Every structure is written in structure tokens, then in C-alpha cells.
A and B are shown apart, each in its own frame.
Chain A
Amino acid sequence: MDDTLARLRQQIREIEGGPVQQVRAAPSGLPGLDGLTGGLPCPGLVEVDGPVGGGRTRLVLGWAAQATQRGARVAWVDPAGSLYPPTAAALGVALERLLLVRPVEERLAWTADQLARSGCFGLVVLAALPDLRGVVARWREAVRQGRTTLVVLSDRPARLASVDLRLQVREGVAVVQRRRAGPVGRALALPPWPEGLDPLEGGGRSPWAVRAPGSGRGRSGAV
């Protein structure tokens, strides 16, 4: 029975154009997801979409933190230049291992391909959706060659062909939309913010509970 399932899965992969190889999984830092899929597929293509402010960037920053803490490098392709590194650092990303790349719109897909193919990164994040015509097959080959995970992060579903994992993140909850094998539709709560960083709950070090330090050259504090 297991052999039959394995053969069928292999045939499906071949039909989808995906590589027939052993796919490792890297810890995602999302216990629910790791329990469901074993972690982030590597090599693999992952799609994360959802409205801005819904938690999708925080989720992927968590993956970046896991990767950099393992000693891997992470590339973050951010044409808008909107990623805020102080928050990335507060979420555990080792900034000295995070390469920020700001290509022009026309070079987005090529940049992701080059980064993934290089073999220099444990995780490549593309924080924008390029023109996808003809690029997905190249990306699949690139992640296989570079033994990495390429995450496409956007506000609308890219619906990449033969994606290994697709998550939709909204209001702090990730829903599995697609994965290579196994059920979909499972909802997973994002991990909590580190202490004191929760935007709505705050915590012991909430800015609304502390006095501003020093002489008032710059100040922050409660009214």
C-alpha cells in the first residue's frame, strides 16, 4: 500500500514538472506547520499571501530568524524597500546574515532565480509578485540546484504551478491552501510576538508603561 502511494506521488510530481528527489524540510518555527508538513520544504517553492498587516511578513521573518540562527544566510528581495530591519532583529533575525536586495520591477524574477540558484542561501524571500510568465519552471530548477527554499510573499495569491506549500495569512492565522501531500484547509495560529512587542497587548515593557529615558533630546512615553 505504501509502495503504491509512493509510486503515485512520484508520478504526480513528474506530471507537475517537479523534481523527483528527496525533499528535506527545515524547521519553520511554526509548531503547527512543522507537525503537519515536517517544516519548510527544501528545496521547495512556498507561496505566502494575505492582506498587508495580517501577519504574513511576521510569519516569514520567523522563518528567516530560524534560518539565520542555524547559520544560514537569507536573501530578502524587497523592491519597495519597506522591510523594517529593527523589527526583523527583534524577531530574532541575525541582520548580518540577511542580504537585502532592491531590484527594479523588471528584474524581480531574474534576481530571485539568481539568488536561489547560487547555493549561498538557506532561504530566499521574494516580497513582491513579478510577471510569472515562464519563470516558475526556472525557479523550480533554481531551488533544486541551490538546495534552498524560495518564498513568494505577496498580497494576492500567485497560484504558482507545482508549488510545494501555499499559505494564506490573515489576522494572525495561517491557513494551508495547498501542499504536496496531505490535507489542506488546516488553520494555524501564528506564534506570539516576543514579550513586550505585541502591538495590541504590549506587555511588561510596553512603551505606555515606561518613562522616557534621559534628557529629552528624544523622547517616548505616556501622556
Chain B
Amino acid sequence: MLTLNINGADHQVDVPDDMPLLWVLRDVLGMTGTKYGCGIAQCGACTVHLDGTAVRACVLPVSNIAQGQKIVTIEAVGKSDLGKKVQDAWLEHEVVQCGYCQSGQIMSAVALLTQHPDAGDAEIDAGMSGNVCRCCTYTRIRGAIKSVSQA
């Protein structure tokens, strides 16, 4: 039995040690905002925060998460001021098309802006290139991030 602190609450889960966090979130806890896209940390759809840092949940075995480490997912990222700002910017800039990657994009953007509150193009390129958007909403993602970082 493992205890995971997710979005501020402790969850007891009885899962195999090697089970990636992604499937614990989605198939055990029913938190489906975090998406599966590739399973090998190539697309970023599964991005969540572990102690504030963006991580790919599809390759993170739950046993590698230390007791007390805080996991934040798309379902709760809007509870922080920055998370809410980013979600609002996404709507304001009409970023979303199919929307499947956007949970991961937003989680990466919030982590980027936490580290670089005034992120410009170079930081955006570096911080966001792990997230694939097949609808290619990149122009608007960049615009939305800049509206927060350069406000």
C-alpha cells in the first residue's frame, strides 16, 4: 500500500511498484485529465507536477515517488494563482483545438512560468518542446504563455 499526495489529499493505493503514475491516476483513481499519448515520455500529454517540477507520469513508477512528495494534476492546477492565470490565458487566446494534449501543455506551461516568470521565446522553446500538439496550436500556446510572462 502506497500513500500518494495528489492535489493536496492523501490517497492510499494498492498497486504494483512499477506501475507508472499515469495509470494510477487514470485507471485507479479515476483522474482522467492526465492523458496517455506515447508511454515513453515523447509527447508530454501525461505531464504532472512533482513538487512543482514538470514530470512525465507515463514513465514515473509510483514507487519512485517519495512519501510526502506533492503531486499536482490538471484537475487542481487552477487552484494556484498562476495555474488559474494560465488556464484563463488558454481560453482568452482560444488555444484549444481537439484539446487532448492541452492538459499536458498547461502543466508544462505552469512549471515553465514558475521557473521563469518572465519567459520569452527561448525559454518557451526549451520548456514546451517536450509537448506535442498534433493540431499544432503552437502559435496560440506561445501567445498565451507570453500574455502571462510579459503582463
Our verdict on whether A and B bind, yes or no, reads no
